[in-house]
Chain A
């Protein structure tokens, strides 16, 4: 049968079909993934907080607020700073810590640290892991064997222990945390991407491309990478949550962002925080909540993206 004999009935079947606009496709996706919408909204809110921290934070995060009798351990919704000849400062909505610093301001500024560290570490780690996975899966042989043994070695260590060791050796600083987190993230990514590549490279179009003379870099870049982007994106979004958790843990242990610069982890890890858990629990609870919400949001986002992008789950 000639192609035109097939095309005409098919064209008639699709007559009147209007391709949905990107916005309506987005809205449709949102309807099917309401939790993804919630997660996205929360993450966007965090990004806004991080970007506009100087404007949104009611107080300088490291400043000790002053008032007669001090502002230490004021509970949520207490009156704000009161200095002589100055107007009353804004209410301390989440209270103050043992040093008299506004907890809300510190959480807002801490969002910057947590998100920055997480995003950079994940981009770095995922980038490295994807590259290793692509090369390892595509070329196989000695490349695959060597790289996967390195991955095995790194995965043998518990993640937090490995991060701790790296930061302890290099010294506590934000840059060293990026590196430590990237070292934790890339092996897992490499493993998953390698599996995806092994599956994709068996497709006929890959063989066709190679038969037409495409070089390996071209095959990887133009044919394989686009088809493994979905797992990369899903992994990255889930790893963001992990990265925030590990960064907070390192800061809690004093190996992360050095105080008095606020990060959620060092807010939890302060000596005053732990000592005052009974008398002033809000000092620990709010940073803990911030960490929990951030990690939960990223995990939710990762789940939703997986549902959307994984063809086996699409339509469920």
Chain B
């Protein structure tokens, strides 16, 4: 009798589950409407890079609402809780991963920075002063003289103890960067001088129209005292930025509080930032991050695919979504970086074979529901009028498994190869790529690691044969997006790529003053990447960045990123909470 009851009980449990599984099908049939793609050439009065489609309900640009338009409405106080990734350390001189960048952007200041905010152009980088209140450029374009804001104080923490920032700090920081991964920014700088307490003079070897933009990306001004005490900047961050780092708990997050001595004021003369506190949460698991948003533990959420964003909007209608613009013009981590200094990827045929073995159209249809962005790390928008489509990426980007196998055979691998891959960034398309490569005889032994480990291994070159591409954002100019990664001496050339032709082109674009000729060189650099393939790029999702409607002044920027990645301090300095 007991057994019969157990059978009935089990059947009673299984049946509803089965019905749900099949019934989910019926639910899907009564589907949510698929958001429409609409080609737009401008949003909010700003001209967009050509050919970018906007998605109804998930716009690239959201203009300021009525409260955001007037600084008199801004409220002070409150705590902003956001999500981001876990840094391996805090030193922007060692890695320009957004995890490291985020902390630096909250705590430090730069000489100049990009304009950001709801009223700003979402795709143009317009440089404004940060620590520098003004600057002059000599008529020959070689000398830059910056005048610093006076009375800017470091955060009142030992060993810096709230002293005033001076031009010597700027000079010292920049000299430090010459032997870091930021070295390429300063390769063309002949001299950095601090003639008086508030003046910095930089003399270039050659004129460079992008020099200010390159300084505005990630050249944070850091105090010497930290390096004297700790030997590096890995553990401590004390700057002149809007927030003080109260606590960093690896794998969990950071806690910040308003810098009470922050020098910047808004247009009405009010002290900034407006927030009392900001807490960053590290929640790698997407489901857990979504649960944290729904339970209001955090105020922001990301949704890689439109369906997820629609579901979140359904359950949390006070969510505002903005389409992730930064992937539209430039790739970031959505590429496969090859170790080109040794077998098997020292042979371009093998690199091309891998690229041709990836069915990018199926990837986007399957993973992203067709909503994707495709670019290389070097943005096309610097020199092209319209966004290139997949077909414009040339023969080695078109799915052709037959040709791929042929190339492998020609390269001496008729029976296929086994490659070792270690990364974190490519975890979403990983299974799909592994399956696709298996079809052309490439066994991809991918090992997933966490984000800090990926950063560490990649910067050391200890990632096996291939890994995910890295961190083209936040270069603010073509040179920053190309030279460090592709030049044989580039500090971010993690693939050990060495092509004399590429080196020559990269050096030429740095010094070319004629814009038309420079664009022609950029095009050649682009084309060489497509054929010689130091990396192969994979479409990324038109993901969406969402936040609660009471969070004001929060926006992504198409080049500079978002709170999640790359513009944390720049954004959070102006964020206020309408509650």
A interface vs B, CB < 8 Å? 35, 62-64, 66, 69-73, 75-78, 94-95, 98-101, 254, 259-260, 270-271, 274-276, 278-282, 285-286, 288-289, 292-293, 296
Across the interface, do A275 and B366 meet the contact criterion of CB distance under 8 Å? no
B interface vs A, CB < 8 Å? 3, 7, 10, 14, 17-18, 20-22, 24-26, 28-29, 285-287, 290, 307-308, 311, 359, 362, 364-367, 369-370, 427-428, 430-432, 434-436, 438-439, 448
B526 to chain A, nearest CB (A): 29
Task: Write the chain A residue with the least CB distance to B365.
Answer: A70
Across the interface, do B432 and A275 meet the contact criterion of CB distance under 8 Å? no
Across the interface, do A62 and B366 meet the contact criterion of CB distance under 8 Å? no
How many Å lie between the Cα of A20 and that of B359 in the bound state? Answer: 64
Q: Which residues of A contact B365 (CB under 8 A)?
A: 69-70, 72, 100
Q: Which residues of B contact A292 (CB under 8 A)?
A: 14
How many Å lie between the Cα of A288 and that of B427 in the bound state? Answer: 23
Across the interface, do A282 and B24 meet the contact criterion of CB distance under 8 Å? yes
A275 to chain B, nearest CB (A): 5
Q: Please, could you name 16 A-B residue pairs with CB atoms under 8 Å apart, sorted by A? A: A62-B438, A64-B362, A66-B359, A70-B365, A72-B365, A72-B369, A75-B25, A99-B367, A260-B435, A271-B287, A274-B286, A275-B287, A279-B311, A282-B21, A285-B24, A289-B17
Known: A63-B435, A64-B362, A292-B14. A76 touches B21 (CB 8 A): yes
A36 to chain B, nearest CB (A): 10
Across the interface, do B21 and A285 meet the contact criterion of CB distance under 8 Å? yes
How many Å lie between the Cα of A292 and that of B436 in the bound state? Answer: 31
How many Å lie between the Cα of A22 and that of B86 in the bound state? Answer: 66
Across the interface, do A72 and B367 meet the contact criterion of CB distance under 8 Å? yes
Task: Write the chain B residue with the least CB distance to A35.
Answer: B3
Q: Which residues of A contact B285 (CB under 8 A)?
A: 271, 274
Q: Which residues of B contact A271 (CB under 8 A)?
A: 285-287, 427-428
Q: Which residues of A contact B438 (CB under 8 A)?
A: 62
B441 to chain A, nearest CB (A): 14
Q: Which residues of A contact B24 (CB under 8 A)?
A: 75, 279-282, 285
Across the interface, do B307 and A279 meet the contact criterion of CB distance under 8 Å? yes
Q: Which residues of B contact A259 (CB under 8 A)?
A: 430-431, 434
Q: Which residues of B contact A274 (CB under 8 A)?
A: 285-287
How many Å lie between the Cα of A286 and that of B434 in the bound state? Answer: 24
Q: Which one of A71, A95, A286, A289 contacts B366 once the chains associate, using CB atoms below 8 Å?
A: A71
Across the interface, do A64 and B432 meet the contact criterion of CB distance under 8 Å? yes
Across the interface, do A100 and B366 meet the contact criterion of CB distance under 8 Å? yes
Known: A69-B365, A76-B22, A77-B25. A278 touches B434 (CB 8 A): no
Across the interface, do B21 and A260 meet the contact criterion of CB distance under 8 Å? no
Across the interface, do B362 and A281 meet the contact criterion of CB distance under 8 Å? no
A152 to chain B, nearest CB (A): 33
Across the interface, do B28 and A279 meet the contact criterion of CB distance under 8 Å? yes
Across the interface, do A69 and B370 meet the contact criterion of CB distance under 8 Å? yes
Q: Which residues of B contact A279 (CB under 8 A)?
A: 24, 28, 307, 311
Task: Write the chain A residue with the least CB distance to B22.
Answer: A76
Across the interface, do B28 and A75 meet the contact criterion of CB distance under 8 Å? yes
How many Å lie between the Cα of A269 and that of B316 in the bound state? Answer: 25
Known: A99-B366, A281-B24. A62 touches B435 (CB 8 A): yes
